Every structure is written in structure tokens, then in C-alpha cells.
Amino acid sequence: MATLETAKRLVVKIGSAILIDSKTGTLRRDWLSSLSQDISALKTNGKDVVIVSSGAIALGRARLSLLGRKLSLAEKQACAAAGQSLLTRAYEHALGEHKIVTAQALLTLNDTEDRRRWLNARSTLQTILTLGAVPIINENDTVATDEIRYGDNDRLAARTAQMLGADTLILLSDIDGLYTADPRTDKKAKHLSEITLLTDEIMAMGGGANSDAAMGSGGMATKLAAAKIAMQAGCRMCIMDGRDESPLRRLQEGERCSWFSAGSNPKKARQQWIGGALQPSGRLTVDAGAASALREGKSLLAAGVKTLSGNFNKGDAVAVCDEIGMEIARGLVSYDAADASKILGLNSRDISSILGYDNGAALIHRDNLVMM
Ligand code: GLU
């Protein structure tokens, strides 16, 4: 059985329906404090925890006296704006009881689709984790239009897991996993505890089972879409009923849920993504010393780069070639072509004095590099 023992980096998605009492539109504080206790225990065991939380719209509804009716997109956005500060404060307070610092990050679809913004969001969130804090992520509903909205935090959570190379994604929902049919209407519906492959048959099970539709916007379909993203990124995913207190402890104790196993490991998935899917927009030629450093798994430093070509931007994929022109690696570059050309051959120490800023010592960080 899958446990959390082996997890190093977890993304926990919290749906509106479990965080907020739908009748009053208020926070379930005792539940949140039990969750915080669980998170504190995970962090004590050395695990990184990232929270993706819904609930801004649901909380804003009560604040703006809009309970119990259908909202227009603009009204939802207004509610999200009114509710987000309450949501953040709730986590800040609950985790603060365990001396855990929280950091709010509001993302849009573009931040996880567009490479440059993706890299920026990634390094900010990485830094937050390195500093020991817990990112509290939600969609930036205020600026999002229908076209650029995720609309559901299930997929946003999966993208976040992919972005951060998480190995475990937990969707806390009001249903204990995936069923062959909707268990509320079909007595013959069977619970699936382990899914290793997303077949058409499994994807079809997402059909009508809309769980927390009253307040959030997710349902089983968006959870399966999230599973697809996560599994491809080498991250296993779990759907569990998180309504009772201490959900993560209960999960560790073997509470019934559905596990979707990871296709490969996060690092491998990321390397496939860099090596396979991206068309290089430039080329760096490196000296023999740099080439052998890369083979040892090191980052590419400007000092070892002899020439560059192509008009690439920061975050673009570039080919790394040896002196005879063979592509030996491919990676996402940390400086655009104009700035990279100013620091070629130079020591990393000199970067900030020459460019006036510093995107890190490496031209391509080893996490963003794959050998060909
Ligand atoms: N971002 C929305 C909120 O915080 C929730 C989206 C969802 O329910 O998945 O209210």
C-alpha cells in the first residue's frame, strides 16, 4: 500500500467543500487546525509541503452577501478578491500555531504554460520551500478571464506538482476516490483503490460525478485531468475524502482512497520534457572542460562557453554542443542571448557587476539540463 513515508515533496490540494461550511460560508477552523497539525508532522519528518487551496470564492460569497445563488464570472472574481485575504490569513494563523511560515502565491494558467513565467514561478516557489515556509497557492482569479482560467484547482495543483518536481499530489475532496460509476446514484458503483494506467475507460468515469460543484468548480473530470498531468510528470496522485479531521494522518494510517501511480520519476519526466518536447531556440558551444563537467552532472557555467548563436530568451531551450558541433546536452537557459553573450567565458562571480543583476551562477542549472 502506498504511504507517505517515501514522499519528499507533497502538494496537497484542498477543495472548498471541505474547508468551508457551505451553509454559513465560514471556515471550518477545527478541521484546518487538525490539517495544520498533520502538515507540521510531515515537515518535522523533513518533507516539503505545498498547499493549493480553493475557498476564496466561497468565503467571498458570504462577505459580499452573495450566498446561495449562481454567480457571473465577474461576481466570482469579486468574491475571490474579497475571500482570498481571509483564506490566506486562515492558513497563516493555523500554520503559525506550529511556527510554520506561509507564503501566498497566486498563479494563472500562463504562469505554468509560458516557459519564462514558469521558470520564475518555479524558482520563487523553490526558494520559499528552501527557506522552510509553506506556499499557499490559488489561482489568481482577479486577472483571469474565461480563456486563461484554469477554473479548477485540481489541474492547477497538478501543474504545481509538475513545476516543483513533487512526488506526491493529494487531492482532499468530499469523495473517497474514483468509482466505476457515480456512487450517489448507482448502487453497483465500485471503488477503485489503485489506478496504474489512464485508459479511455477510466477517463470516461470522470463523466457526471461532480463532487464539490456547489462551491468550487472541480469534479471527477478535473481530478482525472489532474491525474494525467501528475502521472506524466512522474508524480503519484491520491484522491481521498478529506472532510474528517486530520486527513493526512488518516491517509498515512491507511484510509480508503484512490491512488494513481506515477509513470516515471519526476526527474526523469522533467528531463524527457526538456529533451523531447522543446525545440531549441539557440546553441551554445562549450569547451572540453565544460563538456566533461556536464557529463558529471554539473551545471553549465558561463566560463566554459565559447560561442553562442540564436536569439533566445531566458527560459528557452538551447542546444549545448561540443567543439566539433555535436549536441551533447539540452537545457533551459537562465539568461537571454544578449546578456549571455556579455558573460561568456567569464567567472560567475562577475555576472552581477557586468549585467547589474544575477539569475544564478549557472548559464544552465543542472536541474534544467538533460544530456542527449
Ligand atoms: N480558485 C477558486 C477559489 O479559490 C476555486 C477553484 C476550484 O474550486 O477549483 O475559490
Same domain for 233 and 105: yes
Ligand 1 atom nearest to 57, measured from its CA: 10
**Ligand 1 lined by 153 (C-beta under 6 Å):** yes
Same domain for 359 and 337: yes
Domain-terminating residue out of 266, 298, 331: 266
Ligand 1 atom nearest to 60, measured from its CA: 10
**Ligand 1 lined by 25 (C-beta under 6 Å):** no
Same domain for 291 and 150: no
Interval between CA 114 and ligand 1 midpoint (Å): 21
Same domain for 310 and 193: no
Same domain for 283 and 163: no
Same domain for 324 and 231: no
**Ligand 1 lined by 137 (C-beta under 6 Å):** no
- Hey, what's the torsion of the CAs at 27, 31, 32, 36, to 10 degrees? 180
Interval between CA 309 and ligand 1 midpoint (Å): 44
CATH number at residue 304: 2.30.130.10
Same domain for 323 and 258: no
Interval between CA 4 and ligand 1 midpoint (Å): 26
Domain around 200: 9-266
Interval 168-215: pLDDT, tens:
999 999 999 999 988 888 899 999 999 998 888 898 888 744 444 444
pLDDT value of position 209: 42
Same domain for 196 and 170: yes
Same domain for 217 and 100: yes
Q: How far apart are CA 35 and CA 41, in angstroms?
A: 10
Give the model's confidence band at 336: pLDDT under 50 very low, under 70 low, under 90 confident, else very high.
very high
Question: Burial, 23: exposed, middle or buried (Cβ in 10 Å; 0-12, 13-18, 19+)?
Answer: exposed
The three grid cell numbers given for residue 358, joined into one nine-digit string: 544575477
Domain-terminating residue out of 237, 266, 295: 266
pLDDT value of position 372: 83
Ligand 1 atom 5: the closest Cα is on which residue? Answer: 54
Domain-terminating residue out of 266, 290, 318: 266
CATH number at residue 57: 3.40.1160.10
The three grid cell numbers given for residue 355, joined into one nine-digit string: 549585467
pLDDT value of position 259: 97
**Ligand 1 lined by 54 (C-beta under 6 Å):** yes
In a domain, 74, yes or no: yes
pLDDT value of position 148: 66
Interval between CA 185 and ligand 1 midpoint (Å): 26
Interval 189-200: pLDDT, tens:
999 999 998 888
Interval between CA 80 and ligand 1 midpoint (Å): 8
The stretch 239-252 carries a mean pLDDT of 96
In a domain, 3, yes or no: no
Same domain for 92 and 201: yes
Same domain for 148 and 69: yes
Using the predicted structure, report yes or no on whether residue 99 has a pLDDT greater than 90: yes
Same domain for 98 and 182: yes
In a domain, 1, yes or no: no
Interval between CA 102 and ligand 1 midpoint (Å): 19
- Long-range contacts, 74-82 (Cβ 8 Å, 24+): 76/141, 77/141, 77/142, 77/144, 80/56, 80/138, 80/139, 80/141, 80/142, 81/56, 81/141, 81/142
pLDDT value of position 2: 62
Domains held by the chain: number: 2
- Hey, what's the torsion of the CAs at 190, 196, 201, 202, to 10 degrees? 60
